[in-house]
């Protein structure tokens, strides 16, 4: 167990490597009830989200979900989150646990005179995530209507669905690089659903350790590492989630200027060529000088390679080789495309 954002959470059950491989080959079950949920509602809710989020919410229909950064005026990140459109005038934002209070304060401060309500509804929800190639089959076997679940598209959700006899919001989203689902349940019903999923016999419980190695292999950002108040979504390689075509949103001017002048830093993938474990904060060197920093690193449980994401000066981002300084050693590393792992996708 470990302390995280005021919660006591499982770091591992059987072990990080075993849990990681289970998600890649079968299914893993995560308890994500620490994540925050904020309800945004009212006649001007969509207009408000268009202003505070970098992604374009204009075409978001009920039953659809959207990933988006949320930025400060200087282009740095307040947070990154998922928006669920519950209705044309009601949305659920799922935010990083440590940022819930900060995010709600930021949204409140930027509401202005709009007809928008904001409510922290985190206490209403427990969240479970079932991820992996076997996830759909397991949940379909526990659902009242498995065919509906199997037909659910990526970043789509069912607001009223029953799993193991318990009502939930069922979303086909995730943070592992695999197909998977996230279930939003009442806290009272969550334990029974957790037990029912594990009793099916295929999935294993997974802790925070494997959640981090899985998302790193998949090249997915972690707030405080690849995104922060000092790192813009453009620097983090999240261009597709920044709708500069929108006429206005908080941070647009700064991000547009970055895009026009040239993004100062780029996120790259590295694989060490000698034995070592890269970690966040380790310096990255090229041409005899420090050109960047590791933002996240580990030894991949899937490939056995030491992998890292690093933020480096744009002028140095196309080199083939770098050095990563780990304590008193400078280890050679080669640049590789992100993500490090990509699953074979179906047609959804």
Asked if residue 284 has pLDDT above 60, the reply is: yes
Mean of pLDDT values over 240-247: 97
Q: Which CATH number fits domain 2-32+125-216: 3.40.50.2000, 3.30.1360.120, 2.60.40.10, 3.40.47.10?
A: 3.30.1360.120
pLDDT for residue 346 is more than 60: no
- CA 65/CA 194 separation, integer angstroms: 24
Tell me if 208 sits within 8 A of 222, measured CB to CB.
no
CA dihedral (77, 79, 84, 86) positive or negative: negative
Q: What is the pLDDT of residue 344?
A: 75
Residue 275 CB contacts under 8 Å (≥ 6 apart), including other chains:
306
CATH fold of 36-102: Alpha-Beta Plaits (3.30.70)
pTM: 0.96
Name the fold adopted by 264-348.
Answer: Elongation Factor Tu (Ef-tu); domain 3 (2.40.30)
Whether residue 292 is predicted with pLDDT greater than 90 in this model: the reply is yes
Q: Look at residue 348 and tell me whether its pLDDT is greater than 80.
A: no
Which tens digit of pLDDT belongs to each residue from 81-100? Answer: 999 999 999 999 999 999 99
| Tokens found for residue 262 | 């040239």
The alpha carbon of residue 97 and the mean position of all alpha carbons in its chain are separated, in whole angstroms, by 12
Sequence spans of domains, the chain? 2-32+125-216, 36-102, 264-348
Q: Are 180 and 173 in contact (CB under 8 A)?
A: yes
Residues 193-221: tens digit of each pLDDT = 999 999 999 999 999 999 999 999 999 99
pLDDT recorded at residue 345: 63
Q: Taking the mean position of all CA atoms in its chain, how far away is CA 138? A: 23
**Please, what is the angle between helix 187-199 and helix 135-142, to 10°?**
110
Digit-coded pLDDT (tens) for 111-128: 999 999 999 999 999 999
**What is the C-alpha to C-alpha distance for residues 307 and 303, in angstroms, rounded to an integer?**
10
Buried b / exposed e over 224-251, threshold 16 CB at 10 Å, is bbbbbeebbbbbbbbeebbbbebeebbb
For 151-179, the pLDDT digits (tens) are: 999 999 999 999 999 999 999 999 999 99
């Amino acid at each position: 167990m470990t302390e995280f954002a005021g919660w006591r959470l499982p770091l591992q059950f059987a072990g990080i490597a075993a849990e990681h491989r289970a998600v890649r080959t079968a299914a893993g079950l995560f308890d994500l009830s620490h994540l925050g949920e904020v309800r945004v509602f009212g006649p001007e809710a969509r207009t408000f989200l268009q202003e505070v989020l970098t992604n374009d919410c204009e075409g978001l229909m009920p039953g659809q979900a959207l990933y988006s950064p949320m930025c400060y005026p200087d282009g740095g990140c307040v947070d990154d989150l998922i928006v669920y459109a519950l209705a044309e005038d009601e949305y659920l934002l799922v935010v990083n646990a440590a940022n819930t209070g900060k995010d709600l304060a930021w949204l409140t401060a930027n509401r202005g005179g709009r007809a928008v309500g904001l409510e922290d509804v985190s206490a209403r929800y427990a969240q479970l995530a079932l991820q992996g190639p076997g996830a759909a089959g397991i949940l379909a076997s526990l659902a009242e209507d498995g065919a509906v679940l199997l037909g659910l598209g990526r970043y789509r959700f069912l607001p009223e669905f029953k799993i193991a006899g318990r009502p939930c919001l069922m979303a086909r989203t995730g943070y592992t690089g695999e197909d998977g689902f996230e279930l939003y349940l009442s806290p009272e019903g969550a334990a029974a659903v957790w037990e029912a999923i594990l009793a099916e016999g295929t999935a294993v419980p997974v802790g925070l350790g494997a959640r981090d190695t899985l998302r790193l292999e998949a090249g997915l950002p972690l707030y405080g590492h690849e995104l922060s108040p000092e790192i813009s979504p453009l620097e983090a390689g999240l261009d597709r989630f920044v709708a500069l075509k929108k006429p206005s949103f908080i941070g647009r001017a700064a991000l547009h200027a970055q895009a026009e002048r040239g993004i100062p830093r780029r996120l790259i993938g590295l694989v060490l060529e000698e034995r070592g474990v890269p970690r966040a904060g380790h310096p990255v060197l090229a041409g005899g000088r420090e050109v960047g920093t590791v933002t996240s690193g580990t030894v991949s449980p899937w490939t056995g390679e030491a992998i890292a994401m690093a933020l480096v000066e744009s002028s140095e981002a196309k080199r083939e080789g770098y050095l990563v300084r780990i304590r008193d050693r400078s280890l050679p590393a080669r640049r590789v495309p992100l993500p490090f792992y990509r699953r074979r996708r179906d047609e959804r």
